[in-house]
Amino acid sequence: MIYLAVGDVEVREKELNTIKDLQRQFNDRPIWMAASVHRGEEEVILRVHGELIKAYPSLLLILVPRHPQDIKNVSLALKKHKVNFVLRSTMELVSINTRVYVVDTLGELRMLYRVTPIAVVGGSFLPSLSGHNFSEAAAAGCAVLTGPHVGHFYHMLVEMWQINPLAVKQLTGEAELLEVLKELLGDSKALEARQGAAKDAFSIMSHGVVNRVWNLVSRFAIDSQQKRGIVD
């Protein structure tokens, strides 16, 4: 379970400047993010986004494909749905007409979790997939949603649910994803409850992991000293 201890989500000065720049571009618009999206899942995400825009016309989706080679498929899907989008790599500014911000760069997921209140963790909406680690999203204080197919990450789900049932929402599929996003976008109290639950659950879990590792290290050191006759 060491994969839970991702450490403090400290913000370096460069990251902080990037966060502030993105927040200025997003201009207080309602936002949600779909992270680590695998090939085929972009269709699910875009259909849901298309429905959400009917209720929230200024809504912005941050779409982060899992694999860089999938950017072409994502771009084609966006064009098919006639969606106005911007690729992060082009450094083009997000305008009020931008509906999807596609992150085609690497190594920025942790930073991006800090600019969105809602994070849908992909790799979990198709039967052939087995989920992704959602601890970074929880650590950043996002309301965390995941699909039905989470593989061995189900153990993490259970542990977080034991701390707080609101920490992560596991969805049955596309229809429930739409329903829950509508609720979170329209109910600030429900959103804040899930954000706080996710962050608290992560904090408690990571603290427990660090303690377990420290105890193991301490036990090993004591045993080693006893064998050498240093400790009684």
How crowded is the C-beta side of 232, counted as CA atoms within 13 Å?
Answer: 0
- Give pLDDT, residue 81: 86
Q: How far apart are CA 160 and CA 133, in angstroms?
A: 12
- CA quadruple 5, 10, 14, 15: dihedral, nearest 10: 70
In Å, the largest CA–CA distance within the chain is 74
pLDDT of 95 > 60? The answer is yes
- Write the CB contacts of 110 (distance below 8 Å, at least 6 apart in sequence): 9, 136, 140
Q: Residue ranges per domain, the chain?
A: 1-227
For helices 174-186 and 188-227, the axis angle rounded to 10 degrees is 110
pLDDT in tens, 74-89: 999 999 889 999 999 9
pTM of the model: 0.86
**CATH class assigned to 1-227:** alpha beta
Residue 86 pairs in a beta bridge with 101
Q: How far apart are CA 37 and CA 147, in angstroms?
A: 11
pLDDT category, 7, cuts 50, 70, 90? very low
pLDDT in tens, 98-142: 999 999 999 999 999 999 999 999 999 999 999 999 999 999 999
